[in-house]
Amino acid sequence: MNNTEKKQIAGHLLVECLVEQGVTHAFGVPGESFLAVLDGFHAYRDHIQFITNRQEGGAAFMAEAQGKLTGRPGICFVTRGPGATNASIGVHTAFQDSTPMVLFVGDVGSDYRDREAFQEVDYNSFFGPNTKGLAKRVERVDDPERLPEYVSRAFAMAMNGRPGPVVVVLPEDMLTQMVTARPLPRLDAVEAWCDPGALRKLREMLLAAQRPFVIAGGGGWTPQAAQALQRFAEAWKLPVGNAFRFQDTFDNHHLLYAGDVGIGINPALARRIESSDLIIALGPRLGEMTTGGYALLKAPKTAQKLVHIHGGAEELHRVYHADLAMNATMNAAARALEVLSPPPELPWEAWAQEAHADYLANLQPQPLPGPIDMPAIIACIDRHLPADAIVTNGAGNFASWMHRFHRHHGLAKGHKTQLAPTSGAMGYGVPAGIGASILTGRTVLTIAGDGDFLMNGQELATAMQFGGKTIIVLLNNGMFGTIRMHQEREYPHHESGSGLRNPDFVALAQAYGYAGVRIERTDQFEPALSAALALNRGTLIEVRLDPEVITTRATMTAIREAAIKKRSG
């Protein structure tokens, strides 16, 4: 950076502030409200790249993926009104997933404000910063000389405590003013350390337990924290389950791994959690999906003793009244736990071994109809993908195949390998995968449903423009499968609104510049995957899936018949 320059326009200063914070990529859709910032990206193009997306929702999902992968705020730029509202899905995902992110919104000029000018929105009201809102904080920058202060605070807010999204509103006229301010130095997240007295209490609770269980997940994990958790689990021989869509927190191949605690949970694992006498929740906020609708862990007071460790003090005792609450970041908490000395003998060694055996048994599939064997396809993916490959998905029953059968080495091996929305946002997987490919250059595989893909499939154009290469395994069953499943459970034979008439996905992928191939039998998949891995561009593999194969455990007919039987008697 040229520190001798006395003045520059505020839009350039903003980009310089991002460079100072170590940002190398920003995602967005260009708008006339922040032309001065776009010019700043041009001026600093040797230091930072603006990735042009096709829709703001895709841009926000890519920024959210950036935050998950780097542990620092993902950056997204959108224009006022429709641009901001389109991007809100990514902001909501970042909030629920505890992902650091900053959304910059180009706004109407200050001289037009509060007149309901063209595309004007009250962003404080819309993004509603609170525990039920979309963002941790919403701020508007009216004085361009204070831009460094606002950027620095946005990064601090996004990273500290419970990580999450911050929205910064940029009036158009403010961005064009000349300024003399300089960027503030790079910020790193503040570590909150465990109280020594609480650590002693936790050790006492472990010594009194017979059936302890660890649930790990949430935001703020690093490879070092995951490795420290592994050493803690090994020292105390503790079974570990990963929270919903944080399946890369603990190595799935480890002998102490018990499975994922989320949608479609292994019934044996659910029973084990219910019968546990001590739950150590390390990082997750214990939301609806991880707690099985607040049934595995009953709110507000659990049947099990509960130790809840979280980076955000505001999350502790908010839903669950824990027996021991500890405010600590994951890096600090895991490193503190690993030095707790265990006794020479532990009464739950067999309990931990049985938990892992239950996990391995759950990898054995139930027989399902049709020419496509999805467990065999996931096994093929596991054989061919490198250990550091990133796997992404959106929301839908299609994701359950990966959740149940794919095994992550994950953070303990040095890399984050799962990008998935705990918010249940459809359309996440395709842009998140493309963003991950652009950012890391690693192998990226996305599993998508037909309805899920069509929400953000246009971002294949972004991949082709900026060198992103992903492999998309698209499961096409001609329906919004999750909704159809629920319809058959609640209103059997009354399908409405969930059927889809789809395009030719192979031709669509090819139109964007991806390779496209369609398979209708299991034995066709491995050659298609091998060819995709060898290509220097992305590939979409369409898998024609029998509509009967609606979950990893049951057919559509079985679900419908069970619902009819329940109603009749």
d(CA 403, CA 15): 39
CATH of the domain at 220: 3.40.50.1220
Within this chain, do residues 351 and 424 fall inside the same structural domain, yes or no?
A: no
Last residue of a domain, one of 151, 179, 207: 179
Closest CA relative to residue 165, chosen from 72, 90, 68, 91 = 91
Tell me the percentage of the chain whose pLDDT exceeds 70. 99
115-138: per-residue pLDDT in tens?
777 777 889 888 987 656 799 999
Within this chain, do residues 87 and 175 fall inside the same structural domain, yes or no?
A: yes
Using DSSP's 3-state secondary structure scheme, residue 72 falls into: coil
Radius of gyration over every alpha carbon of the chain, rounded to an integer in angstroms: 24
Amino acid at residue number 349: E
- Answer yes or no: is 99 within a domain: yes
Within this chain, do residues 165 and 204 fall inside the same structural domain, yes or no?
A: no
Within this chain, do residues 353 and 382 fall inside the same structural domain, yes or no?
A: no
When pLDDT is cut at 50, 70 and 90, the band that residue 1 belongs to is very low
221-245: per-residue pLDDT in tens?
999 999 999 999 999 999 999 999 9
d(CA 395, CA 402): 12
Mean pLDDT, residues 531-550: 96
* DSSP summary character for residue 499: B
* DSSP summary character for residue 303: S
Question: Per residue, what are the HEC states of 198-243?
Answer: HHHHHHHHHHHCCCEEEEECCCCCCHHHHHHHHHHHHHHCCCEEEE
Last residue of a domain, one of 327, 358, 389: 358
Mean pLDDT, residues 260-288: 96
pLDDT score, position 566: 87
- Answer yes or no: is 34 within a domain: yes
Count up the domains in the chain and report the number. 3
Q: Which residues have C-beta within 8 Å of that of residue 199, sequence separation ≥ 6?
A: 326, 336, 337, 340
450-475: per-residue pLDDT in tens?
999 999 999 999 999 999 999 999 99
pLDDT score, position 333: 97
- Answer yes or no: is 143 within a domain: yes
When pLDDT is cut at 50, 70 and 90, the band that residue 110 belongs to is confident
Mean pLDDT, all residues of the chain: 95
Within this chain, do residues 329 and 438 fall inside the same structural domain, yes or no?
A: no
- Answer yes or no: is 364 within a domain: no
Within this chain, do residues 381 and 464 fall inside the same structural domain, yes or no?
A: yes
Within this chain, do residues 165 and 237 fall inside the same structural domain, yes or no?
A: no
pLDDT score, position 475: 98
18-27: per-residue pLDDT in tens?
999 999 999 9
Question: Per residue, what are the HEC states of 18-65?
Answer: HHHCCCCEEEECCCHHHHHHHHHHHHCCCCCEEEECCCHHHHHHHHHH
- Answer yes or no: is 365 within a domain: no
Mean pLDDT, residues 344-357: 97
Using the structure block, give the residue that is written with the tokens 């935050």.
67
Within this chain, do residues 24 and 155 fall inside the same structural domain, yes or no?
A: yes
* DSSP summary character for residue 441: -
State how beta strands 305-310 and 278-282 pair.
Answer: parallel
Instruction: Answer yes or no: is pLDDT of 336 > 60.
Output: yes
More confident residue, 338 or 568: 338
Whether residue 88 contacts residue 135, with contact meaning beta carbons closer than 8 Å, is answered with no
State how beta strands 8-9 and 178-179 pair.
Answer: antiparallel
pLDDT score, position 112: 83
User: What long-range pairs does 317-326 form, CB within 8 A, spacing at least 24?
Assistant: 318/131, 319/285, 319/286, 319/294, 320/286, 322/281, 323/205, 324/198, 324/201, 324/202, 324/205, 326/194, 326/195, 326/198, 326/199, 326/202
**Angle 88-391-222 from CA coordinates, rounded to 5°:** 80
Residue 478 is part of which domain span?
A: 374-568
Instruction: Answer yes or no: is pLDDT of 408 > 70.
Output: yes
Closest CA relative to residue 554, chosen from 404, 425, 451 = 404
Within this chain, do residues 400 and 354 fall inside the same structural domain, yes or no?
A: no
pLDDT score, position 130: 62
- Answer yes or no: is 290 within a domain: yes
- Answer yes or no: is 185 within a domain: no
- Answer yes or no: is 462 within a domain: yes
d(CA 247, CA 189): 23
d(CA 281, CA 403): 20
Within this chain, do residues 551 and 465 fall inside the same structural domain, yes or no?
A: yes
pLDDT score, position 321: 97
Which helix H or strand E contains 560, and what residues bound it?
A: helix 556-568
